[in-house]
A and B are shown apart, each in its own frame.
Chain A
């Protein structure tokens, strides 16, 4: 919203405060000023000049050298390209250094080799027109040397661009008079009150005893809170005066005609929207304010047919709806050049109803955006009288017919809100000592009525009606008024006095940190984040069902309309993107998945997803080893099992096309499947355009993150006697997992075994491998005898033989 300081000065004398300071202080006390802009400065520099001679430019056919005079003994020469320049013509001259309306600053510059001392201006360069040809021709009697500021009665103004969002709770600031009250309080000035009771009485004398040509009826069931109507006859529709046009233009409104301009002017001044009808276009002499009878279309002033619902409130005559309440008028009762008699509506509507309708229709107007904030019905009458005052001023022949009509809630029944607070409470909450006198003067300046208590500490405050709607409701709201006017920057920071108690991270947070550290420092991986919202396209690519995900009603796009049920498709997509830039990489994400839940609506799980990718070599074993070591680091017992038909893995769908025939292990934590280490099938990698090798792990952290995980590490005494090792090499079929061979050896159940491990695996022939196994023997009691060792070795070999693994000969 743009605020004109010139307009503010109608109501309070701010003196000559620098514009930037005004903006800064307003930001710190009330609402954010996003920009400060000076307008009209160029009119101070631009003068009336008279053209004395015109010569051809030596180097350009279309340019001429124009000599002009701006005073008795001051002449200059400019390069000019305008075709309408002629000797004796009066035209505006802008000297070097002038910043023109478009923000262009005139610098000394040679044009085709000739120095131009400024510029003769067109209407466009002065900001009068969007596009113009030739330089501006001034009347013959324009006094040479006079500034345009003086000659054209231009004005200089400062505009503050205030962030609308920061005014959401302050409907009283949506007009210049309300703003002026704020400025007066901040800068400790006096607010003038041109709208006194006496002023009202004077204007009310214009009512007549005739019956009003338009009467009103408000249906109590509609969104109307208050409706005032006044008929005025004998207006003349013409351009509004320059001063009014200038103010409207300055704050960004296009002048239309005097009647429409008055309605906009009053809204911008007092913050209450109003609507002016052509009285003669109202059929039947009566307006009914009610909800739509049925769904129907309605053509608003912007010439668009809009569909209205039975819940929308409209203002109707006997032919149907004329105005969409609080939002926009219709074409049928619009003011036009022939309008002579008008009917003025000043009303108040229920905020949420206006917002609901305007949001549904996508139609936000200056009017609806004010009503949405909840306006004060008590301010309607003042708005009506100010409108009347301006119509009489601009159309002296106009006259009121009848009296001010009203229907709606009983306004006198709206009680004044009183809130009690105390000087000590205000000081305690702000943590800053403020004198009682200062506090009282702030409230008085903001138009609160202050009732002091006898003991001097308690304050009873009557809230002005224009602040009583969803703004000032509690004691805390009063404390804010004092705090912001004092300036929060003036409060000295202080530490609170409070008990000290030990705090620590939650188990889940500790676990997540531990995993991140492990993945970064040990697994040499990068942590990434992918979007929690996913779409059909991605899931189709991954051959993954999106059905379990939770669907968003109002997504930004189809590609982000479901909360992801798995990390896998997102991680595959990230891998695909990164393959364009890197041949080998490892990354992980700790992120949530979201699935539908019958009881809780949705279930969120913290998942760890890891991707290892390499152009040339398989990553599966490397990843599996990393995951195994991660669980050791986390003190979580884990088992890696081949997929079992009877135990479904909730994290990998049983019928997934991406299932690899061999590289797939379920991660079993505390007896349940809570993840998997997999290589996706090449068919899936292909659909993601991933070349080379890629393996991934997925682990449900929610399944164990809230349990205390203690290290079970125990020290065992070192052996005092030498150990003895026995290596043997057996032959096994290629398809036999080496673990099976090891398990087979362990079945021998020989005693005094410290360790049994695989030493090596070699290809023996086309179909067989050799596996070398090592057993380490040792005893705390003494050196093992040769006899014991021989029999132990024998039973190991025997056991292997039983399992079908013969010694390599």
Chain B
């Protein structure tokens, strides 16, 4: 009997191999495991056998049933798997065809203007050090742009050649309007609205009447800063400037502080950083001197504090101005300042966020 079962299993396996569809598999299963199938027949014939034979053959026959059942299930699974794989094959996509390699990939990206990338970063650095961020008008009057900043009427800075002027509505007007030529205009506006101690920055566009070339623009960006309090010293100013620069450049930057003349500060300084493009060897960006003027700064002139309504016997402070365009150009290695306002997406798309 056992031999019969073995033979049956061999035959089943042979037939199973030829099965190609789900239905055939189920037919085969019915054929072998059905009530009239060969295994049932064998089990039925056992009623005449001895008890021991019945036990052995019965167990084997049941084992065979389980094996057949399993093999059939496997077969069904494998047929389904083949079908799915065929479907996947038919649905196959080219996974190398990413948007980023397509000609119109621009449409799937966006990005910030590099000036704002850097400006926001600097604003955040100053916010973290307790500075407010202020804003002011671009079209200013002589008082805020010059007089309040200790630049008297006959000062060369008031000449036509540096500043854009507007036609006064009344030819006799004493306080003519102009395009602010520095963000320092915010100093007096900021002081008037506050009581010391205070500290603020004011980023924004400024304008100079200059011929444009790769390193000169008639509209560019500055960031003014001011801190007023008791017993403020040059050492405090240097501390803030160095902290700022190491935060901006994420490393220690070589700096030098030299006297600089600005009517609204005394003492006044030019803070230069070693040129990051040539590392101090001299190149076109640093005009071959190895240093780049970055931060004009100084202790606020007593006349300016007075114009802002500050008690100079009690308070003093420092102020600084940062050229944002120059900083952005250094950071990214941009060789032409005119790209900033060009609106050219070939330039802007290089600063994409994603």
Question: Which A residues fall within an 8 A CB radius of B?
Answer: 27-32, 34-35, 166, 168-170, 351-352, 355, 359, 372, 428-432, 474, 476-477, 479-480, 483-484, 488-489, 491-496, 498-501, 503-506, 508-509, 513, 516, 519-521, 523-533, 550-556, 560, 563, 570-571, 573-574, 577-578, 581-587, 589, 592, 594, 601-602, 604
Contact = CB atoms under 8 A, between A and B. Distances in A.
A585 B106 contact: yes
B309 to A, nearest CB: 19
Given A352-B154, A520-B353, A428 B218 contact: no
B130 A500 contact: yes
A191 B338 CA distance: 48
A519 B110 contact: yes
Contacts of B167: 551, 553
A495 to B, nearest CB: 5
Given A509-B133, A586-B107, A602-B166, 4 more contacts: A430-B233, A526-B348, A532-B205, A578-B344
B219 A531 contact: yes
Interface string B257-276: 11111000011111000000
Interface residues on B, range: 35 or more
20 contacts: A28-B256, A29-B259, A31-B259, A355-B156, A430-B233, A474-B301, A476-B301, A479-B267, A500-B130, A503-B127, A503-B131, A506-B132, A516-B112, A516-B116, A556-B210, A574-B343, A577-B342, A578-B343, A583-B104, A601-B139
A492 B110 contact: no
Contact of A587 (B156, B164, B348, B353): B348
B341 A531 contact: yes
Contacts of A560: 218
Interface in B65-116: 103-104, 106-113, 115-116
Main secondary structure, interface of A, reads mixed
Contacts of B341: 529-531
A523 B108 CA distance: 9
Contact of A483 (B106, B164, B197, B267): B267
Interface string B212-223: 100000110000
B234 A431 contact: yes
A592 B138 contact: yes
Contacts of B37: none
B20 interface: no
Contacts of A35: 289
Contacts of B134: 506
A496 B236 contact: yes
Contact of B166 (A29, A474, A506, A551): A551
Nearest to A355: B156
Nearest to B260: A166
A526 B345 contact: yes
Contacts of B209: 554-556
Given A587-B348, A604-B139, A554 B267 contact: no
Contact of B267 (A359, A372, A476): A476
A515 B137 CA distance: 21
Interface of B: 103-104, 106-113, 115-116, 120, 123, 127, 130-135, 137-139, 141, 153-154, 156, 159-161, 164-167, 169, 177, 179, 197, 205, 207, 209-212, 218-219, 227, 229, 231-236, 238-239, 242, 256-261, 266-270, 287, 289, 299, 301-302, 316, 340-346, 348-349, 352-354
Contacts of A32: 258, 270
Nearest to A432: B235
Nearest to B169: A601
A494 B236 contact: yes
Contact of B242 (A30, A493, A528, A589): A493
Nearest to A490: B257
Q: Which of B233, B260, B287 has the most CB of A within 10 A?
A: B233
Contact of A526 (B179, B235, B260, B349): B349
Contacts of B106: 526, 582, 584-585
Given A554-B164, A585-B345, A488 B269 contact: yes
Contacts of B270: 32
Nearest to A485: B259
Contacts of A30: 259
A528 B115 CA distance: 10
A243 to B, nearest CB: 32
A555 B112 contact: no
Nearest to B141: A601
A521 B345 contact: no
Contacts of B266: 474, 476-477, 479-480
B258 A587 contact: no
Nearest to A529: B341
A577 B111 CA distance: 19
**B234, B346, B349 — which one has the most chain A CB atoms within 10 A of its CB?**
B234
Contacts of B161: 359
Contacts of B104: 582-584
Contacts of A530: 341, 343
Contact of B107 (A168, A554, A585, A594): A585
A488 B133 contact: no
Contacts of A505: 123, 127, 133
Contacts of A571: 343
Contact of B238 (A488, A526, A533, A551): A488
